[in-house]
Structure 1
Amino acid sequence: MVPVTTWTIQDVSRQSGLPEPTLRYYEEVGLLGPIHRDERSGHRRYADGDLDDAQVLACLRAMGIGIEDMRTYQANRSRGRAAAAEQRDILLRHAARVEEQIETLRVHLDYLRVKATLWQARDHGDPVAEEAARAALHDVLPRLQETFR
């Protein structure tokens, strides 16, 4: 029989980047495990596959993917090609959300840079640069206000 490597919750937390309470929660809601317990101590003992699952969940969590989509994604992993289209759709749906967030952040960045340019012009007493910054601010404000909705 091939020996199975086991990991403590601390090991899995360190290697996956997921906090220990999150690992316990993911086990509780069925995203991870069931995790084997040491018969004498009752401590969790994660197998290599559990560690792999935790690392996948850490990536999904970092992307902002919710619990239900994580659950579906995890269930589909073992289905392979039969679930490929569904896996793709989950990822593309979240990619679209990330693209929207990036666009919002670009508008916020534009606003911050224009405001900084305005204050720099004021600091240097440069009315021509200040007027140019005001014009740029006038252009960015409608885009910024759209991000509030």
Structure 2
Amino acid sequence: MTSYSPAETAEKSGFSIDTLRYYEKIGLLSDIARNASGRRVFSDDDLAWLNMLRCLRETGMPIAEMLRYSELTRAGEETVQERIELLQTHDRRVEEQIERLRVQQGQIQRKLGFYREVAGGCAALLPQAGAAARNGQAEVSAARP
């Protein structure tokens, strides 16, 4: 079984060593093995768990819910249904967040289209664009979404 130092784990997981300590302190990481000198050593299973924690955190799950999920996972098979419910609730929130981002992206894309039209109409006023147009090298503006 492969083991990793805290520094290696931080590099592989993308979490800082301080975050790893914090997650262990609050109970998101449990049963981290120690070597003969008492230093923490992480396993591939620990890295897989950290990958799940990163996913949950980056998708906006609050620490309190992450802790609940962690507790349920440690509690065993009888908590599978609760874990499903917790993850389904989070998944719905992520889907709502994605939809909000799509709406906001649409607004950004519309504004980009507006500016591209303005820039195209003012090509003669822009020194580089005007010179390129006179030399037959004007770029075709990107199509609007």
TM-score (norm 1): 0.66
Consecutive unaligned residues of structure 1, counting only runs of 5 or more, are 127-149
Instruction: Please state if 1:73 is matched with 2:69.
Output: yes
- Residue pairs, 1:29-44, within 5 angstroms: 29-40=26-37, 42-44=38-40
Work out the number of aligned pairs and report it: 122
**Residue of structure 1 in register with 2:46 after alignment:** 50
* Match among 7, 11, 22 for residue 10 of structure 1: 7
Name the SS of the counterpart of 1:65 in structure 2.
Answer: coil
Kept in 2: contact 1:36–1:45 (CA 8 A): yes
Kept in 2: contact 1:15–1:55 (CA 8 A): no
Name the SS of the counterpart of 2:19 in structure 1.
Answer: helix
Instruction: Please state if 1:121 is matched with 2:117.
Output: yes
Q: Distance in 2 between matches of 1:50 and 1:123?
A: 52
* Match among 19, 25, 32 for residue 22 of structure 1: 19
TM-score (norm 2): 0.68
Percent identity of paired positions between Structure 1 and Structure 2: 35
Residue 26 of structure 1, CA deviation: 0.2
Consecutive unaligned residues of structure 2, counting only runs of 5 or more, are 123-145
Cα RMSD, aligned residues only: 2.5
Which portions of structure 1, spanning 4 or more consecutive aligned residues, are displaced by more than 4 angstroms? none
Kept in 2: contact 1:5–1:48 (CA 8 A): yes
